[in-house]
Amino acid sequence: MNIDIVQHSPALILAVPLLFAFLTPLVDRISEKGRDALFFLGLIIMAFFVAIMAYEVYTVGEWSYVFGGGTVTPTGADSSFFRILFVADGVSAMASITLTISAIGAAIYSYTFMKDETGLNKFNTLFFLMVAGVNGMVLTGDLFNLFVWFEVASVSSAALIAFKTYEGKAVEAALKYMIISVIGGLFFLLSIGFLYGQYGVLNYQLLAENITGTNLDKIALTILVVVLALKAGAVPLHFIIPDAYSMAPGSVTAVLVVASQAGLWVLFRVVFTLYGVAVNTLTIGWIVIVLGILSMFIGVTMALVQKTVKRLMAYHAISQTGYMLLGVGVGLAVLGKPEMGLYGRTAMEGGVFHIINHAMYKGLLFLTAGAIIFKTGIRKLDDLGGLGHSMKWTMGFFIIGALAIAGIPPFNGFASKLMIYKSVYRFNPLLSIIAMVVSILTLASFVKVFHSIFMGPKDEDIYDTGDVPKPMLAGMTILAAFVILFSLFPGAVVSNIVEPAVEALGVI
Amino acid sequence: MSALAYQLVPVSGWNPLVLILLALIVGVLVYMIYRLGNHSYKETKYKREPFLSGNSPADDPDSLHIGGSNLYWGFTRALKRYFEPLVRGHTGLLNDYLYWFVITVVVIMVVLYFV
């Protein structure tokens, strides 16, 4: 039997974590070492298939994968019309690459970070399910399956946030996350119903051909935009993000950042691929821009007044999401107009480039925050200080992440922000100035964090000497290496990964 | 264009390798100037005081560290009228999260319908 692995790679990217999620509890009954080995093996095999799919997308082109074979036809006569469909394109390739890097870094970090916890078979299973859910969200080619993977990602994320059940606030945060996600999911289902009721199809491509911009289409679009902005953590729908990010274990938070970004990817697919010019793109573009500006400014100013390290970083995650929305919103506002060629495409590329940059440096920062809490058991900035004497590697990783998020050259955050500043300035100078002010405030906030945690005299009573264990450092090294790599070669990332993603959204 | 040159194409006119090269050159120059002046430098306590506004270094090392909430105290105090309602709005109550969800749906729906 000759199986075309390349052709089946989109399905295998999902099948592998699902299979390993099922195997983990079984192997755990035999051997804990086997369980841990399985954790890494599953992610490495998944990474292999992600690499195959991405290589094929970047060298040959995109393709649709219909489960059970066949093709999707607009007439509905073919039975494959109702089949599950995945899309291997620039968007799914870039999103899967981002997730895989973060997940592997977080998994290696978890090896010692979580070793004193009980129920690690459940942790590993939930981790695999979250990875599968997020990959499913970006790979799927129809709205109903999107809803299913949205739920898989939400339920597993909520369970992982609550993993340290002995910390009461973690359970509270998870409960809020779950309720908000379920309500969001039900609204999402309602909007799918509106579209299916009108057109009788769920497939992105077929819906895109049919949507004409009726009032019901606009209601469905509103709900989709709000639910996906909620998933991404855009202001004023951001409230759950600080709760969830601050209470989840450090390694989980690094992957939660990518899970939130899946909401952004789907939002971009909805507004570009699904609706496109069928609705007033200038209005929708401005809605996305306003969400972006609110997220940037309120996120960073709320971060300035935070007193705990992870909550502060969570508000910065909201703020950075604003940059992505701003860049892509400007691209949307000029979709189909001559301005797209002048600056709209660069704005979109900047926004999309910022997604992968953010996943790397924000993931790294959350891992450093986890390392600090792991070593000291302290979350409050006022109670920390002098860690630079003993946690030199962690401090180094923190500096890399902090400089990147603040957009200091030559780090990758600067490259994507520069693309956004320059292109958005041509659309509306005020928006670009706000983005620059937010960047300055971000730097100010991270100076505060750095000073609070790492500077000051060493207190021998509180801190023992030495840094965190090597597996945790290795996890941070992976993300830091990608931050540096993207910083040194932004042109390569934009031309090889970002541009195919922007083209896959239907922007030529 | 060679494969390597292709990877080095600047983004929005930005090429980090040029900046790094420049930083290295400046770094070498700075080090050379430092070396020129450092051998004649003699440590006295008066040479440190200008950096502490003329004050003597504190005896208690713990007092040297300024806690997180003390940094930017003046900034947040000056913008109290902005920060107070903003912080108060983040109640942590699930009901409030849902109010904002519904408000956002209504606002966007109205904008999409009328604009």
- Rounded to a whole number, what is the distance in Å from the CA of A66 to chain B's nearest CA? 34
Predicted confidence at residue A374, as pLDDT, reads 93
Predicted confidence at residue A1, as pLDDT, reads 52
Predicted confidence at residue B74, as pLDDT, reads 87
- Rounded to a whole number, what is the distance in Å from the CA of A60 to chain B's nearest CA? 18
- Residues in A closer than 8 angstroms to B20, CB to CB, are 410, 488
ipTM: 0.91
Domain ranges of chain A: 280-508
Question: Model's pTM, two decimal places?
Answer: 0.93
Predicted confidence at residue B15, as pLDDT, reads 85
Please say if the pLDDT value at position B14 is more than 60: yes
Query: Of A280, A382, A423, which is closest to B115 when you measure between CB atoms?
Result: A280
Predicted confidence at residue A77, as pLDDT, reads 47
Interface of B with A in 2-21 (CB under 8 A): 6-17, 19-20
A206 half-sphere exposure, CB direction, 13 A CA radius: 21
Mutation target for A interface from B108, B109, B111, B114: give the one with most A CBs within 10 A. Answer: B108
Predicted confidence at residue A506, as pLDDT, reads 79
- Residues in A closer than 8 angstroms to B90, CB to CB, are 239, 242, 302
For residue A297, the chain B residue with the least C-alpha distance is B86
CA-CA-CA-CA torsion for B98, B104, B106, B111, nearest 10 degrees? Answer: 180
Query: Of B11, B68, B97, which is closest to A382 when you measure between CB atoms?
Result: B68
- Residues in B closer than 8 angstroms to A183, CB to CB, are 98, 101
Strands (E), A75-141: 85-88
Question: Running DSSP on this structure, what letter comes out for residue A235?
Answer: T
Amino acid present at B29: L
Cα separation, A319 vs A439, in Å, equals 9
Predicted confidence at residue B1, as pLDDT, reads 45
Mean pLDDT by 10 residues, chain A (508 residues): 82 96 94 94 97 96 84 52 84 97 97 91 96 96 94 96 87 95 96 94 89 93 96 95 95 96 95 91 95 97 94 97 96 87 90 96 97 92 89 96 95 95 95 97 94 83 76 97 95 94 84
User: Cβ of A219 and B14 within 8 Å?
Assistant: no
Task: From A24, A53, A18, select the one nearest A37 (Cα to Cα).
Answer: A24
Identify whether A410 is preceded by a cis peptide bond (ω within 30 of 0): yes
- Residues in B closer than 8 angstroms to A353, CB to CB, are 11
> Percentage of residues in chain B with pLDDT exceeding 90?
43
Task: From A314, A215, A228, select the one nearest A270 (Cα to Cα).
Answer: A228
User: Cβ of B105 and A226 within 8 Å?
Assistant: yes
The two structure tokens encoding residue A235: 């202001």
Please say if the pLDDT value at position B75 is more than 50: yes
User: Cβ of A385 and B65 within 8 Å?
Assistant: yes
Please say if the pLDDT value at position B5 is more than 60: no
Predicted confidence at residue A2, as pLDDT, reads 59
Segment holding A139, helix H or strand E: helix A120-139
Cα separation, B109 vs A223, in Å, equals 8
Output phi, psi for A466, to 5 deg: 95, 160
Confidence band of B96 (pLDDT split at 50, 70, 90): very high
Query: Of A230, A283, A488, which is closest to B17 when you measure between CB atoms?
Result: A488
Mutation target for B interface from A216, A237, A239, A419: give the one with most B CBs within 10 A. Answer: A239
Predicted confidence at residue A193, as pLDDT, reads 96
